[in-house]
């Protein structure tokens, strides 16, 4: 009797007899549902052969490819907890994730093996290679593995993934996502966004992030649709493949860059039925200009690593610029007083709290953080400030935390400040996010020099390049005599954002 495993049973098992394409690749080739199913089963078999047991963690830092996309589903079939990691992370950054998660196996590009071997060894993780072209010793292990006949039994509350999310103090936190968290969200999105087996999603998002891996891919699998799998969001590639697609999920940067290209016309997107934006705020101006240019109003939604999707503008009714719509079915959203937790009246600004089957299980090995942010009644304190307008649309007005979201990536300021403060000539620093026409927000470093020193911006940027992923590095640096502080000595980042908020304008 086949074992019960919700994610596998709902998303992967239906592919076993599907001869039609699931993935359309840039070179014109396709991957059928049957072929993808076989890859998933062999990956599960390879994980068994490597000695991984249900509940073990599999850390993955690989480039996007069909086999890389199948990794999560192979892990789910084997009952292994999946930990995707941004390929831009440096070895120094990766060490924390591997050690904190207790990963048993770490898959990475073979070209980085020399640099990553000591990091993996310190964490007690076995390192194997999986390259974008399908080569590497793990790829060989998959090819040689006996495919799994049945999935490992897993319940709805068993962990399926561990995703690290940034905060404003302390280390990154590992959000524990269960089978139910992921599957419930995918099924809601299929219904709310009207996905069917006829849909072809233009998939240009990264797959180390909840947006590209869980929101996009799980939704298409649940609907029985297919995907045009692009390795990255290149504007030329997007424009080339838009006429073959019915839907696109992207971050605001996708849309600003498309609007910068004269080839974006109504005729180009005549075959499309849905454009979705998330992971960062979409400027109302971008929303309106895109509608005027293409005839399509972008559907903006609101989600987080800890919760997947919480709210969405409606599919059939008004998609209101500057809002993220209404709570999804089964999800509750409350606006509360940040100090007392008491619910605030409609129209008033307060803390956004969320409850539902989409909300995560807590933070990995951080019980204090879990208690502080996940209430006993099941509501998650998001750290975002918002309000419901007169018609019930949710507006996000800011973040209580200083988290920066640039191009859809979460960036933790304190991590950058610690590196800046170690550099010669730097007395102290503050890192803020400021509006950026392309990225939504950009990282800006504000530096107070040591007395008599004049830090060299070029040298500072060069020093950061070896220690921080590119998306975390400041787009610019500003020198100031002193950082603004309150009576308790806390740096007033709001004052810095007000002062430098127009840095990248126009």
| Residue 326 token pair | 């209404």
- Alpha-carbon gap, residue 41 to 148, rounded angstroms: 5
Q: What is the maximum alpha-carbon separation in the chain?
A: 76
Assess if residue 20 is contained within a domain.
Answer: no
First to last CA, the chain: 63
Same domain membership, residue 374 and residue 425? no
Q: How far is CA 494 from CA 18, 129, 402, 427, 485, in A?
A: 54, 44, 9, 21, 10
The residues with which 434 forms a beta bridge, in sequence order, are 442
- Residue 144: which of 47, 61, 219 has the closest Cα? 47
- Residue 324: which of 310, 343, 308 has the closest Cα? 310
Length of the chain in terms of residues written = 506
- Alpha-carbon gap, residue 251 to 407, rounded angstroms: 7
Assess if residue 132 is contained within a domain.
Answer: yes
Q: Report the number of distinct structural domains present in the chain.
A: 3
- Residue 177: which of 307, 368, 57, 59 has the closest Cα? 307
Q: 179 with 357: CB under 8 angstroms?
A: no
- Residue 58: which of 41, 73, 80 has the closest Cα? 80
Assess if residue 12 is contained within a domain.
Answer: no
Assess if residue 181 is contained within a domain.
Answer: no
Which region among 69-83, 148-162, 301-315, 411-425 has the lowest average model confidence (pLDDT)? 411-425
Q: 217 with 227: CB under 8 angstroms?
A: yes
Amino acid 169: pLDDT: 46
pTM: 0.84
Same domain membership, residue 456 and residue 387? no
Q: What is the pLDDT of residues 380-425, one digit of tens each?
A: 999 888 899 999 999 987 666 677 888 888 787 878 888 998 899 9
| Residue 491 token pair | 């740096």
Same domain membership, residue 286 and residue 362? yes
Domain assignment of residue 451, given as a range? 404-500
Average pLDDT over residues 464-488: 86
Same domain membership, residue 349 and residue 231? yes
Assess if residue 339 is contained within a domain.
Answer: yes
Same domain membership, residue 369 and residue 424? no
Same domain membership, residue 220 and residue 143? no
Show which of 154, 180, 213 is a domain's final residue.
154
Same domain membership, residue 393 and residue 308? yes
The one-character DSSP state at 4 is P
Show which of 366, 399, 432 is a domain's final residue.
399
Q: What is the pLDDT of residues 203-245, one digit of tens each?
A: 999 999 899 999 999 999 999 999 999 999 899 999 999 999 9
Assess if residue 321 is contained within a domain.
Answer: yes
Show which of 399, 421, 456 is a domain's final residue.
399
Same domain membership, residue 460 and residue 366? no
Same domain membership, residue 72 and residue 137? yes
Amino acid 488: pLDDT: 41
Which region among 30-44, 51-65, 481-495 has the lowest average model confidence (pLDDT)? 481-495
- The neighbour count for residue 102, using CB atoms within 10 Å, is 17
- Alpha-carbon gap, residue 58 to 66, rounded angstroms: 18
- Alpha-carbon gap, residue 84 to 64, rounded angstroms: 11
Assess if residue 342 is contained within a domain.
Answer: yes
CATH number at residue 45: 3.40.50.980
Q: What is the pLDDT of residues 288-317, one digit of tens each?
A: 999 999 999 999 999 999 999 999 999 999
- Alpha-carbon gap, residue 21 to 359, rounded angstroms: 33
Amino acid 494: pLDDT: 83
262: buried, middle or exposed (CB in 10 Å: 19+, 13-18, 0-12)?
exposed
């Amino acid at each position: 009797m086949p074992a019960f495993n919700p994610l596998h049973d709902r998303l992967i098992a239906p592919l076993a007899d599907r001869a039609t394409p699931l993935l359309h690749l840039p070179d014109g080739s396709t991957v059928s549902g049957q072929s993808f199913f076989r890859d998933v089963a062999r990956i599960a078999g390879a994980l068994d052969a490597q000695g991984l047991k249900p509940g073990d963690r599999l850390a993955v830092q690989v480039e996007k490819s069909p086999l890389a996309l199948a990794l999560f589903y192979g892990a789910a079939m084997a009952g292994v907890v999946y930990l995707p990691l941004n390929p831009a992370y440096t070895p120094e950054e990766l060490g924390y994730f591997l050690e904190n998660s207790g990963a048993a196996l770490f898959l990475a590009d073979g070209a980085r093996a020399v640099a990553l071997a000591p990091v993996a060894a310190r964490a007690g993780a076995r390192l194997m290679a999986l390259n974008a072209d399908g080569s590497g010793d793990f790829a060989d292990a998959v090819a040689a593995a006996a495919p799994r006949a049945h999935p490992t039994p897993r319940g709805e509350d068993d962990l399926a993934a561990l995703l690290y999310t940034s905060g404003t103090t302390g280390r990154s936190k590992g959000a524990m996502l269960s089978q139910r968290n992921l599957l419930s969200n995918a099924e809601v999105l299929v219904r709310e966004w009207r996905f069917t087996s006829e849909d072809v999603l233009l998939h240009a998002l990264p797959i180390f992030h909840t947006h590209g891996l869980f929101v996009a891919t799980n939704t298409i699998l649940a609907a029985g649709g297919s995907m045009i799998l692009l390795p990255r969001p290149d504007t030329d590639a997007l424009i080339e493949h838009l006429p073959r697609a019915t839907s696109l999920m992207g971050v605001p940067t996708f849309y600003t860059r498309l609007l910068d290209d004269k080839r974006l016309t109504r005729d180009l997107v005549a075959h499309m039925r849905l454009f979705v934006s998330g992971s960062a705020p979409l400027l109302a101006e971008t929303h309106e200009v895109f509608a005027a240019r293409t005839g399509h109003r972008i559907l903006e939604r609101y989600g987080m690593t800890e919760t997947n999707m919480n709210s969405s503008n409606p599919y059939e009714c008004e998609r209101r610029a500057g809002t993220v719509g209404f709570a999804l079915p089964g999800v509750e959203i409350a606006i509360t007083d940040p100090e007392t937790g008491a619910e605030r009246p409609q129209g008033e600004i307060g803390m956004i709290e969320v409850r539902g089957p989409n909300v995560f299980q807590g933070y990995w090995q951080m019980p204090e953080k879990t208690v502080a942010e996940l209430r006993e009644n099941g509501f998650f304190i998001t750290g975002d400030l918002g309000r419901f307008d007169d018609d019930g649309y949710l507006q996000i007005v800011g973040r209580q935390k200083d988290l920066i979201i640039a191009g859809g990536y979460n960036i933790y300021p304190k991590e950058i400040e610690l590196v800046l403060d170690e550099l010669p000539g730097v007395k102290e620093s503050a890192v803020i996010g400021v509006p950026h026409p392309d990225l939504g927000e950009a990282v800006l470093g504000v530096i107070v020099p040591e007395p008599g020193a004049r830090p060299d911006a070029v040298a500072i940027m060069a020093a950061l390049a070896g220690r921080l992923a590119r998306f975390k590095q400041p787009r610019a640096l500003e020198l100031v005599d002193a950082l603004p502080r309150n009576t308790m000595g806390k740096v007033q980042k709001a004052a810095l954002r007000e002062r430098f908020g127009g840095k990248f304008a126009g």
